[in-house]
Structure 1
Amino acid sequence: MSGGARGKAAQPEAGKRSRGKLPLIAGALVLLLGGGAGGAWYLGLLPGFDSGSAGHDAAGASARVPAKPPVFVEVPDIVANLNTPGRRQTFVKLRARVEVADESQAKIVQAAMPRLLDLFGSYLRETRPEEIRGSAGTQRLREEIVTRSNLAIAPAKISDVLFVELVMQ
């Protein structure tokens, strides 16, 4: 009798356990399938869910005018001493090109070149050598030169400064 009572009592526990795992397994399956479908949509593998942008791109591609290539204006070499605390001077040589949108802006930049050379030189003189070192320092220098240059040549806009040569001694 004790064996029969145990068998009947064990059966409902096993049924509760299997029913308790069912929502957990179903939830994991839904998450897995949802994640896979989301990833496929993000990668563009599901063409039916892209809001019809592929049809618009194919039709609009022939009507688009190709973008004009940017114009690069050569900046003469600049040699400046950096802001160093000791007696030993540190010099920097900078050769760069500035990127503008079109020829009309390139003419404005050429006309303002003395102002830009003064701006670049004075900014370099107040810069410390450790501020230029490394790729992060070079990027900060680029961003600062672009910002200051755009203020100096207000109607025109410089979109980027490309360093051809940047030597620190």
Structure 2
Amino acid sequence: VEPGVRTGVPLLVDNPKEVGADRIVNSLAAHHLYDAPCIVVDFGTSTCVDVVSAKGEFLGGAIAPGLEISSDALASQSAALRKVELVRPRSVVGKNTVECMQSGAVFGFAGLVDGLVRRVRKELPAFSGSDVVVIATGDRAPLIMPETETVDEHEPDLTLEGLRLVYERNQARRGARRSPLE
């Protein structure tokens, strides 16, 4: 997705050129699948919380470090901590350093997501109702989503669905411009 590619997603932000392709196609797919106001949480390299209007407009969002980046930074910047497997610990109250780090990562990121979603709902009146769908995607969604209180749906292929929709939209456009002799 680059300049000149039609996505059909109005980017209602200060600088549309700064919006990543993943955020655009996720917004397109979310609107296509749910036809409602959506908040998309993408657990990737970064954790993106993106806001999509009922009309399919990208309104903006929030970007935080991703789970892996945060965990790696903690291990590399601390003399006493090492990299740990990112899995759900047995309790929020860890009984050893590994469990404590896992708890901070898993439950901490769930809290981050819940906090951002609640703030969006509070700040934007159109997102305070029960018709808003909060969708999780990204490779770490299955780990964090069960610990959240605000995420409604899991769409593991949301980005791919958005790319498919963009492709189809642009193929139809190309086909419409062809002459009858082609």
TM over 0.5: no
Q: More helix per residue: 1 or 2?
A: 1
- The structure with the larger Rg is 1
Report the TM-score, using the length of structure 2 for normalisation.
0.24
